[in-house]
Each structure stands twice: as structure tokens, then as C-alpha cells.
Amino acid sequence: MAHNKRITIQDIADRAQVSKSTVSRVLNDSTPVAPEKRAAVLAAMAELNYQPNIFARGLAGGQSMTVGVLTQQIGSPFYDAIVRGVIQGLAGSHYSPIFADGQWQADIEKEAVQTLLERRVDGLIVIGGHSPGELLRRLNEQLPVVVAARRVPELIDRCVCVDNFQAAYQAVRYLVEAGHEHIAHVTGIMTQPDGVTRRDGYVQALTDAGLDPNPALIVEGNFRRQSGVLAVETLLMRGQAFSAIFAANDQMAFGARLALFRRGIRVPDDVSIVGFDDQPDSAYMTPPLTTIRQPAVEMGETAAQFLLHLLKGKPFERPALSTELIIRESVARFR
């Protein structure tokens, strides 16, 4: 039947009264086409209800038209916000994302990367994670790689991240300026760069204020809420006095707040808390959480746009992504 006829490039060319090569250039966005001819081709496509077979076109050009995205802990507000940015950044590009979850475990992450490679993805966006820098550098020799939310020295010109050291420094400095001297720190995973640099920023802020960092006030967490609960219990068992807590992310700040509540310790009257990330729930914690805001969605969108430029062989000017201290009600002056 006529309405089942497959529309071809020749049909579009005939309707638009242009050559097949002109239609091809418009479809592939490969070389410039005169505006009036481009408009005619697009109008003909709309009139004929032409739907290009992106997958077939990609295979013909030696591409899968897919981008692999390795994230961590699907369901995490922070990582999901970056993923949302990646989706926004790829919108309208004809590239589709394929997601894999590293789950903050090196062996699972390694398998996830391999799975994405077996899918013949054209490029790879790595969000956080444990993958060694040298491995990412070698992968980048096979296909374009962009790293988001992590600083990798071996691939530094492909990283889209914020200055975690300076952000942590600012958070602790704010507590110091509020009169706090005994400030505890719930770290992130200490085999992960974000955990290390935020810890270093904490230490430097205390040192610059003339305060000696107390190892007994530093407890390692794992970026999850439960570790924030356990960290506070550990601090209390150690018997070390503290009037404030800097948690390396909001999830652990939520856990710390719960542990203090269970012990009858008031926030911020008895203990102040500062988090990191500014997750949506932070504004609704009791009391609302003072935290460091990361531009998570913008980070993901920038990573996607960066990769698209690499795939097209075009230069990309990475925008400067900055953090911001969001002051709410979880910090009080030390009395």
C-alpha cells in the first residue's frame, strides 16, 4: 500500500528539488548547505514524514551512535543529577547514552567499562569512580573519554570537575569564623580523589587558622547516610569534644544529623553541621543544611558537550565550574 512505502533520500531530493548529495549533507550535518536549500530539504522531510534511521546511518559510517556513561550508585541524588545533565547535553545530537553503574566497587566498575566497550560505544563519559588514571588514559587512545566529577592527572585535559580542595577549605573556614575550634570531619572514601582532596581542604583550613588538626576527630565514611550515623557514634565513643562537623557530602551529613538527634544533641545549638553537594533534600533537613553547592547538572551537560566536540574533531572551551557555600540554619556561632 502507498502509505507503507519507504521514503528514500531520492524522494526527499525530488520533493525539495535538490540533489541527493545535498540531502545527505543536511542529514549528516557534514558540510555547509545554503540556507534556502537546507530549508527546502527540512520541509520536504516534514511533508513526507521522513524518519531517518540513525542506527543504520551510524553503522554505515563506522559508528554506533551511542555514548557509554559509567556512573556510580544509581539512585544517588548527586550522580543522578550529573546523569540528567548528560542526557540534556546529548539531546538533539543523534547520539544515545548507554548507562552502567560502577557501584563504587573497582571490580564491578571494571566489568561495567568492558560491557560498554563491547557495545561498541563511540565515546565514554566516566563519572567519578575508581578506574585508575593510567587505564583511562589508555582507553582514551581507543576512543574519546571525558571524566566528570573527578580530577585525573593522567587525563587532566579531559576532566570536568570543581576544585574540591578549595570548596572544603571554604566550608571549614566558615565554621572557624563562627568560633568553632574542635571541628570533626566525616571523610568520603579515602581511595577516591574527592574524599582525599576534601579531607586535605579541611586540614589546611584548620592549619591556616592556627588550629592543630586532631586525627581523633577524623572518621572515614563512604558517602552513604549510614556511614554518617556510624561516624558520629565513633566520635562519641572516642570521647573527643567537638562543636561542629564537616561531612564530605550531604548524604553523610543527613546520617550525622540523625545520630545526634538520637543522642539528644541539638543542631545547631550543641553541634553545627556543614555538608557538601547541596542535594535537593538539604533544604528540607531539620534544620535546613548549610552546604557546598556543586553544579552537578551543568557538570554532566558540559561533559556531554565536550565529548560531542571530540567526536566531531572540534575544539571545546571548557567553562569554569565553581562551587558556592549555601548558608542555611545548621550552623550557629560557638558559645
Q: Using an 8 Å Cβ cutoff, are 293 and 326 in contact?
A: yes
Comparing 1 with 304, the larger pLDDT belongs to 304
Q: Is the pLDDT of residue 106 over 90?
A: no
Superfamily of domain 66-162+296-321: Response regulator (3.40.50.2300)
Sheet holding 272-277, edge to edge: 218-220, 183-187, 244-247, 272-277, 290-293, 324-326
Coil, strand or helix at 108: helix
d(CA 220, CA 228): 9
> CATH 1.10.260.40 occupies which residues in the chain?
2-52
d(CA 66, CA 46): 25
Cα dihedral 187, 193, 198, 199 sign: positive
User: pLDDT digits over 170-225, tens only?
Assistant: 999 999 999 999 999 999 999 888 899 999 999 999 999 999 999 999 999 999 99
Identify the pLDDT of residue 29.
Answer: 67
Q: Is the pLDDT of residue 292 over 50?
A: yes
> CATH 3.40.50.2300 occupies which residues in the chain?
66-162+296-321, 164-293
Identify the pLDDT of residue 74.
Answer: 84
pTM of the entire predicted model? 0.80
User: Which has the closest alpha carbon to 150: 205, 206, 188, 97?
Assistant: 188
User: pLDDT digits over 47-102, tens only?
Assistant: 888 766 555 555 445 578 899 999 988 888 899 999 999 999 999 998 999 999 98
On average, the pLDDT of the chain sits at 91
Q: Which fold has domain 2-52?
A: 434 Repressor (Amino-terminal Domain) (1.10.260)
Identify the pLDDT of residue 33.
Answer: 87
Range from 13-22, 24-33, 72-81, 244-253 that averages highest in pLDDT: 244-253
Instruction: Collect all residues with Cβ–Cβ distance below 8 Å to 101 and sequence separation of at least 6.
Output: 71, 72, 73, 74, 108, 112
Question: What's the rounded mean pLDDT across residues 264-285?
Answer: 97
**How many percent of the chain have pLDDT more than 70?**
94
**How many percent of the chain have pLDDT more than 90?**
74
User: Which has the closest alpha carbon to 80: 323, 296, 308?
Assistant: 296
d(CA 20, CA 26): 10
d(CA 227, CA 221): 5
Identify the pLDDT of residue 129.
Answer: 87
Question: What's the rounded mean pLDDT across residues 319-334?
Answer: 96
Q: Is the pLDDT of residue 4 over 50?
A: no
The CATH classification number of 164-293 equals 3.40.50.2300
Identify the pLDDT of residue 11.
Answer: 87
What is the rounded (10 degree) CA torsion for 173, 178, 182, 188?
-50
Q: Using an 8 Å Cβ cutoff, are 169 and 207 in contact?
A: no
d(CA 269, CA 233): 19
